[in-house]
Amino acid sequence: MSRIGKRAIPVPKGVTVTVDGQTVKAKGPKGELDFVVNELCTVALENDEVTVKPVDNSKPARSLWGMSRTQIANMFSGVANEFSKTLELVGVGYRAQMKGTALSLSLGYSHEIDYPAPDGVKIATPKPTEIVISGIDKQKVGQAAAEIRGFRPPEPYKGKGVKYADEYIFRKEGKKK
């Protein structure tokens, strides 16, 4: 039994939710999102709470049960208040700046990397070595952050690269003579 799936999802204040068959739509102050639940799960809206239940006790239905509940909960918190991820650039000459809607990165390569902001994702650079990615869709925000980090992942010897602000880089000792 899914411990996550058993819990009902309370609807936050300021968010309106409609359940139409397998489609759940949420509209809040930050925007509007919708999610189509797999047919192996059922969705119901009762007393300002959304409940997700599996159709039967099969393995695929139980697998999708908790995931569907989490997707809907993330959708509610995204339209109520945005998600954000902060990236830090560590290294000499590593910097980021916005050029229109594209992010321009200098990461020690012979060329600059231009990363266009995906739809529904806002990118800001408060400092040249800091990137803030925000949006209402948690999946898009996390994917954009992972793609930017993938241009130069942090290395364990000097810690240079693009890292999450809350990430700890396990440091290794270099060669000895």
SS3 letters across 60-74: HHHHHHHHHHHHHHH
Among candidates 115, 169, 109, which has minimal Cα distance to 146?
A: 115
pLDDT over threshold 90, residue 125:
yes
User: What's the CATH architecture for 3-80?
Assistant: Alpha-Beta Complex (3.90)
Q: What are phi and psi of 49, to 5 degrees?
A: -135, 140
CA distance 7 to 4: 6
- Which two structure tokens, joined as six digits, stand for 10? 């309370």
Domains 3-80 and 83-164 belong to one CATH topology: yes
0.95 cut: is pTM over it?
A: no
Domain spans of the chain, in order of start: 3-80, 83-164
| pLDDT tens per residue across span 45-101 | 988 899 999 999 888 898 899 899 999 999 999 999 999 999 999 999 999 999 999
Among candidates 16, 138, 12, which has minimal Cα distance to 71?
A: 138
Domain 83-164, CATH class in plain words? alpha beta
